[in-house]
Homo-oligomer: A and B are copies of this chain.
């Protein structure tokens, strides 16, 4: 049991972990002063586990699990959680899939029961596969209409080409049209095993009773059997190469959206806290260099921010801008100038202090919500090597030095550049 103390030395939360048969992990965190409980089921499968033939299968499957089980129709599933007003949803990422709900504490058993039923006992009926295929084709069209989604998808494709990491999570019109029920079913049986998932609960929750609830809900259909050890996170050593160069897609938007970036660092790289500070100073807030220079001084764009995305063996760091077509050249020149400058000179003492302050408060404020706590537990178990306590994270942020930031900026922003552009 891990105990996290706040600054006054008061115990504000408790994290506990239990391993169930089959390798299913249950991790809970009790929070003071909340009436809610958030539960998530995290499955270690995502679009990067898909062969080209199965492109979009993780996301398709995520949708299909809502369509019915041996006990419940799709409507029963919706009705059950809607009746208690729960926020209930799911999402698919490149390395994991998550089903989550936020409910009043007293309704937690119901939420766990519904999600456990979906995970263990989905029927994947032929009719539902066909109906949901249409829904997903609509969703793909919607992403194509969203300038921000479109440019980030294009950037990933430029970075990692026609590999699983380079492909959009939802698949393409062609791949979704071609997927068969038999393929999705095999994918389901292969990846939705207890050892490949973790259930996390945060909020007003008692660990022992949460474990009992999970054991009951996931005990259906002989799911919790065997002694497979939990699947460990993949931990890469170095970020894989990316393909430098430019990609353009012509779309009839009013604005041009562009992402300019370079190879970054992996998720478990100890320098991620250094990168956090660097990213904050560069484009993480309205006082950041890019926001000040691109938007405030030069009025070149409404939206400009920097980002870092991490995978177990890959990462990118970049800058995203939305601007009017006439301003693209000025925007690119300004952004490149700022990147070159931070690579050459690093950041200032004042930016270091401010960056740490932002990360510190962002962490503390962000974790007041039971949903955010639940997510932290899930990612820690599934894709990080460790669960750092809040105090440990604060200590690591605090330990970042000017030299570390400068060295990292110099390493990153002297690499060959990637550029994705979507617009008229």
Contact = CB atoms under 8 A, between A and B. Distances in A.
Given A34-B368, A79-B287, A292-B78, A142 B302 contact: yes
A369 interface: yes
A296 B85 contact: no
A66 B6 CA distance: 34
B302 A361 contact: no
Contact of A364 (B35, B74, B365, B369): B35
A360 B303 CA distance: 37
A322 to B, nearest CB: 6
Given A85-B357, A131-B296, 4 more contacts: A82-B357, A83-B353, A132-B299, A145-B147
A123 to B, nearest CB: 15
Contact of A138 (B137, B255, B360, B361): B255
Contacts of A135: 295, 299, 301-302
Interface residues of A, number: 74
A362 B286 CA distance: 32
A85 B358 CA distance: 3
Interface in A246-263: 251-255
Interface string A283-305: 00111100110011111111100
A153 to B, nearest CB: 14
A150 to B, nearest CB: 10
Interface string A102-114: 1110010000000
One complex includes copies of this chain to the number of 2
Given A34-B33, A138-B322, A368-B34, A252 B252 contact: yes
Nearest to A353: B83
Interface in A41-78: 66, 74-75, 78
Instruction: Name the residue in A130, A134, A291, A364 with the highest tally of chain B Cβ atoms < 10 Å from its Cβ.
Output: A134
Contacts of A139: 302
A141 interface: yes
A354 B83 contact: yes
Given A104-B361, A287-B79, A358-B82, A74 B296 contact: yes
Contacts of A323: 138
A102 B365 contact: yes
Contacts of A292: 75, 78
A411 interface: no
A33 B36 contact: no
Given A36-B368, A75-B287, A75-B296, A302 B138 contact: yes
Contacts of A74: 296
B324 A141 contact: yes
A93 interface: no
Given A33-B32, A33-B33, A132-B299, A324 B361 contact: no
A235 interface: no
Instruction: Name the residue in A6, A66, A323, A361 with the highest tally of chain B Cβ atoms < 10 Å from its Cβ.
Output: A361
Interface string A121-152: 00000000011111111110110111100000
Given A138-B322, A296-B75, A361 B84 contact: yes
Contacts of A364: 35, 104
Contacts of A296: 74-75, 131
A86 interface: yes
A359 interface: yes
A368 B85 contact: no
Contact of A141 (B136, B252, B255): B255
A104 B32 contact: no
Contacts of A137: 324
A354 B81 CA distance: 9
A323 B134 CA distance: 10
